[in-house]
Amino acid sequence: MKLPDHEQRELEEIERRLAEDDPKFAAKLNRPAPRVPHRTLMLAGVLAFYVAGLVVVMTGVTLASQIVIALGAAMVLAVFGWFGVRAWRGTKE
């Protein structure tokens, strides 16, 4: 969304004054946001899968369904298997 001309000029004036008053802060604002490392995203996904497995187990217990409990348990065990395979292979990523 484009700003009206007078607001754009005011914004540029504020940016200019900020750069004059506190150049370090202005430089920090102009830097791109840091990327989230691949390893962190992978770990968050595995943790979410683990929590989902626990929820499936609890749902199976609530419904007294052995199939649902087994599915949730398989999900939880898959997370431990994933960590085990990674440790065995010695992967860093």
Alpha helices in 1-93 (DSSP H): 5-21, 23-30, 38-63, 66-89
Any idea of the CA torsion for 64, 68, 74, 79, to the nearest 10 degrees?
-100
pLDDT band at residue 93 under the 50/70/90 scheme: low
pLDDT band at residue 52 under the 50/70/90 scheme: very high
- The answer on pLDDT for 12 being more than 70 is yes
Mean predicted confidence (pLDDT) in 41-66? 96
Give residue 92's pLDDT.
60
Question: Whole-structure pTM over 0.75, yes or no?
Answer: no
Which tens digit of pLDDT belongs to each residue from 18-51?
Answer: 888 888 888 887 788 778 888 899 999 999 999 9
